[in-house]
Amino acid sequence: MILIAGPCVIEKDPSIAFQTAEQLKNLTEDLQMPYIFKASYDKANRSSLSSYRGVGLEKGLDILDEVKQQFGLPILTDVHSPAEAHIAAEVVDILQIPAFLCRQTDLLVAAAKTGKIVNIKKGQFLAPSDIEYCIRKVTDSGNKNVLVTERGFAFGYGNLVSDMRAIPIMQRFGYPVIFDATHSVQLPGGVGGASSGERQFVETLARAAVAAGANGLFLEVHPQPDLAPCDGPNMITPDTTRALLTVCQAIFQIVHQ
């Protein structure tokens, strides 16, 4: 079972990224689980103009490179434009296409042409069968290194619903499907100009997704989620992550035995 995990965004205090990376590396080594560190240098789709976005491309990539070198971890980060994709590819191992941009042809093609693994987060507005066309934009551009991440569907105002049928549907296209258990409990616009979340349901959805055959989990993890500048209500702590992964790994082994 693959784990992609880390804080939502690189904060003004970069020690959060290093602290989280170290704790998750130690945890996944104990569990013998492949681990990819994730954090965003910029969150370009915040609800409000005044919301915290990150430290920016240049500084953010410097910090991600330090995490990579210090802990020997593969790195994933979001990219929002073709130009960013080429710059970020010099540092990171996986380029993530944000859910709201999953159909942006120029971005998908540019990410593909870097030769890096491309993680496509399925948009909340997209049927799982339609992810095929997003995948094709990458593979037809000469890159077969693709991951797909499920993060829930928008079926109503201010809420997301996870349909576990999406996992086997998207796996039919031949690429691993990761389940984002923390963004799936997000409540878009739940506190007016920002999203809220229900982290108490992260474990329920994660266990269900692994039981449904997901190839791995995506988790946003923070030592003090309630103090995080964004996505705090749906992030979990490293201690919670350990307990969650222990259970999910056992489920994964049963499903795949």
What is the four-CA torsion angle of 165, 186, 208, 5, rounded to 10 degrees? 110
**Closest to 119 in 3D by CA, of 21, 217, 44:** 217
Q: 154: how many CB neighbours lie within 10 A of its CB?
A: 15
Asked if residues 234 and 16 have their Cβ atoms less than 8 Å apart, the reply is no
pLDDT value at 8 more than 90: yes
Task: Please state the separation of Cα 162 from the chain's center in Å.
Answer: 15
257, pLDDT greater than 90: no
CA distances from 210 to 97, 185, 195, 199 (A): 22, 16, 26, 18
**Residue 107 tokens, joined:** 């971005």
- Which pair of structure tokens corresponds to residue 66? 């330090």
Superfamily of domain 2-255: Aldolase class I (3.20.20.70)
**pTM of the predicted model, to two decimals?**
0.95
Q: Which of 155, 156, 108 is nearest to 133 (CA)?
A: 108
Q: Which residue, 215, 203, 202, is CA-closest to 256?
A: 215
Q: How confident is the model at residue 32 (pLDDT cuts 50, 70, 90)?
A: very high
Q: In 3-state terms, what secondary structure has residue 121?
A: strand
237-253, pLDDT tens digit by residue?
A: 999 999 999 999 999 99
pLDDT in tens, 67-85: 999 999 999 999 999 999 9
The beta-strand segments (E) located in 128-185 are 146-150, 153-156, 159-161, 177-180
Is pLDDT above 60 for 191?
A: no
pLDDT at position 231 over 90: no
Q: Tell me what pLDDT residue 45 has.
A: 76
Residues 143-160, mean pLDDT to the nearest whole number? 93
Determine the Cα angle at 75 with ends 201 and 114, to 5°: 120
Q: Average pLDDT for residues 106-117, to the nearest whole number? A: 98
* CA 54 centroid distance within chain: 16
pLDDT of 154 above 80 = yes
